[in-house]
A and B are shown apart, each in its own frame.
Chain A
Amino acid sequence: MLASSVWRGTERRWFLGGLFLGAGITATIAVLVGAVVRPLLPGPARVVAVVLLAAVVLPGELGAYRLRLPQAARQVRQWISEEGAGGALQFGVEMGTGFRTFSTSNLPHLALVALALNPEPAIGLAVAAGFATGRAMMTIGRAGSPDPEAWDADWAASERRILRLLAAAAAVALPLALGWAVGSAVGWAAWLPRLASGGG
C-alpha cells in the first residue's frame, strides 16, 4: 500500500489533514473548470453526460469488461513521508488530489467528471470530503488492524469484490447526487418531494 509508512500518531494526523486539503484542491479546480464549461452545456445535457459516463464506467467496475481511462500514473515519492509532519502533510495532499497514483479503478474519473459538470461549491465540498474520507478509510482501517500486513493481503484478495461493492455504492449514490442538477432544472418541488411521497 502506498501510504503504509505514514501510520505514526501526529504524522498520521498531518497526513489525514493533507488528504482533505488535496481533495479540496482537486475539487476546487474541478468546480472552477466546470463553471467555465457550464454555460456551454444546458442542465439536462450535463445530467445525460454523467449518466452516459456512469453507464460506461460502472459495468467495467463490476467486471463486465476491462476499461482503463487516462490517468496521471505517477506515484508520490514515498520518502517524503519520512520528513516529519511537513512530509506527512505533503504526502497526504498529493494522495488527496487523486492524481499521484496508479489507479486500479475508474470511479474517481466518474466522480471528478460528475463534479465538473455540476460545479456547485457545496457539491465540491461534499465530493472532496467524501473522497478524502474514502482515502482515509484505508489509512485508519489498516492502522487499526492488529496485523496491517494481513489487512493489505485482505485488500488484495478482496479487491474485485470491494470494487464491485463500491460500483454498487456509486450506482446507488449517483441518482441522489444528480437530484441536485435535476432539481435545479425542474424545481425541487417536482422531484424529490414527489419521490418521497411515492408519487414518482
Chain B
Amino acid sequence: MMTALLGRRARTPAVEVLGLGVVAWALVAAGLLSPAAATLLGWLALGSAAGYALSGST
C-alpha cells in the first residue's frame, strides 16, 4: 500500500510532498485547519522535501 502511495516513478514522492503543502494551504483557506496544525504540516512538508532531496546523493 505504501509503495502504491509513493508510486513507481522516482518523481512521485516529490509531487506528493508538493501536494501536501498545497492541501495544507487549501485547508487553511477553508478554515479547516488550526494554525498550529497548519504550521506543523508546513514543517513536516519542509522536512520531507529536504529528506527526499537527498535521495540521489552518494
A interface majority secondary structure? helix
Residue of A nearest to B14 (CB): A165
Query: Is A173 a contact of B3 with CB atoms below 8 Å?
Result: no
Report whether B50 and A108 are in contact in the complex, using a CB–CB cutoff of 8 Å.
yes
B interface with A by C-beta (< 8 Å): 2-4, 6-15, 17-18, 20-22, 24-25, 28-31, 33, 35-36, 38-58
Residues of B within 8 A of A1 (CB): 55-56
User: Interface residues, chain A, CB within 8 Å of chain B?
Assistant: 1-2, 23, 61, 75, 98, 101-105, 107-108, 110-112, 114-115, 122-123, 126-138, 140-141, 143-146, 151, 154-156, 158-159, 161-163, 165-170, 172-180, 183, 188, 191-193, 195-198
Measured between alpha carbons, how far is A2 from B57 in the docked complex, in Å?
A: 7
Q: Which residue of A lies closest to B21 (CB)?
A: A172
Task: Report how far A107 CA is from B47 CA in the complex, Å.
Answer: 9
Q: Return the chain B residue nearest A141 by Cβ.
A: B6
Contact of B14 among A2, A123, A166 (CB under 8 A): A166
A103 touches B40 (CB 8 A): no
Q: A114-B46, A191-B35 are in contact. Are A134 and B40 (CB under 8 A)?
A: no
The answer, among B8, B29, B52, B53, for a CB contact under 8 Å with A145, is: B8
**Contact of A137 with B38 in the complex, beta carbons under 8 Å:** no
What CA separation (Å) do A140 and B54 show in the bound complex? 14
Chain A residues closer than 8 Å to B14, beta-carbon distance: 162, 165-166, 169
Q: Are B46 and A177 neighbours in the complex by a CB distance under 8 Å?
A: yes
Query: Which residues from chain A contact B12 at a C-beta distance below 8 Å?
Result: 141
Interface pairs (5), CB distance under 8 Å = A122-B40, A129-B44, A180-B40, A183-B39, A198-B29
Residues in B whose Cβ lies below 8 Å from that of A170: 45-46, 49-50
The answer on a CB contact under 8 Å between B13 and A196 is no
Given contacts A126-B44, A140-B3, A195-B28, are A159 and B49 in contact (CB under 8 A)? no
Residue of chain B at shortest CB distance from A195? B28
> Which residues of B sit under 8 angstroms from A135, Cβ to Cβ?
51-52, 54-55
Q: Which of B2, B17, B58 contacts A166 (CB 8 A)?
A: B17
